């Protein structure tokens, strides 16, 4: 049985979005009886991210600029030191649903060592064509197994066995899960979907912003061309 959850939130210059992210985590934590310890790993922030996070009563690690992998690793280390036996991972530009931790606990009770959840971009950040392109490639009710650090859960023992996050500039979440696959029980779910920023220029070269910029936008453009040709 899970006795304590650590929520790890890396952040780099997210003053505008981290407040909503942390309030959504607080709402999710209010829905469970298990204690929740939130750690924001501020990765070389030059804006008011640290101030906003501390004003909301969470633990903040004010780190020198490194990488998202290093930030996640530092946050996870602190959560583990505080006694967490389950790590819930999300991002500072994302909002989790109220049942986010309920679902992670349910999956853990089913025996999961890793929970891979789905994310969707904030549709208000996208054009109509981009929203249609996203919906056309993401069937509702289908967990397709893409690993997103914005919606991931890991049992502490499995995380440690895998060696934790590596200090990578991007895809540190995918790398971690790949190292867990040989021994961990991995469950995929589309329940408790996380909404993340729809910006196309992110804090890393790739990541979700890279997907929206380099893959979704061409799909949207092709859709518009097809519609124009048909008309």
pTM value is 0.86
Confidence of residue 126 (pLDDT cuts 50, 70, 90): confident
14 to 20, 33, 40, 191, 204: CA distances (angstroms): 10, 29, 11, 26, 13
Confidence of residue 13 (pLDDT cuts 50, 70, 90): very high
**Coil, strand or helix at 226:** helix
Integer Cα distance of 26 and 21 in angstroms: 9
The residue that leads in pLDDT, 58 or 121, is 58
Share of the chain above pLDDT 70, in %: 82
Domains along the sequence of the chain with CATH: 5-122+142-200 (3.90.550.10)
Dig out the tokens for 115 from the structure. 């929970």
Confidence of residue 220 (pLDDT cuts 50, 70, 90): low
The reported pLDDT for the residue numbered 6 is 98
């Amino acid at each position: 049985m899970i006795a304590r959850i650590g929520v790890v939130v890396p952040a780099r210059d997210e003053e505008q979005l981290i407040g909503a992210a942390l309030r959504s985590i607080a709402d999710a934590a209010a829905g469970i009886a298990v204690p929740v310890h939130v750690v924001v790993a501020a990765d070389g922030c030059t804006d008011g991210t640290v101030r906003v996070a501390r004003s909301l009563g969470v633990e903040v690690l004010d780190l020198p600029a490194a990488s998202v992998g290093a930030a996640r690793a530092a946050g996870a280390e602190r959560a583990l030191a505080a006694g967490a036996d389950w790590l819930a991972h999300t991002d500072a530009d994302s909002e989790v649903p109220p049942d986010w931790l309920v679902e992670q606990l349910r999956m853990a009770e089913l025996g999961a060592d890793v929970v891979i959840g789905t994310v969707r971009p904030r549709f208000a950040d996208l054009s109509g064509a981009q929203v249609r392109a996203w919906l056309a490639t993401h069937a509702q009710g289908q967990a397709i197994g893409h690993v997103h650090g914005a919606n991931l859960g890991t049992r502490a023992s499995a995380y440690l066995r895998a060696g934790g996050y590596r200090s990578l500039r991007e895809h540190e979440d995918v790398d971690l899960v790949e190292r867990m696959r040989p021994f961990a029980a991995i469950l995929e779910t589309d329940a408790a979907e996380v909404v993340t920023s729809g910006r196309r220029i992110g804090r890393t070269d790739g990541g979700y912003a890279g997907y929206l910029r380099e893959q979704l936008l061409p799909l949207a453009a092709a859709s518009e061309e097809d519609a124009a040709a048909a008309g």
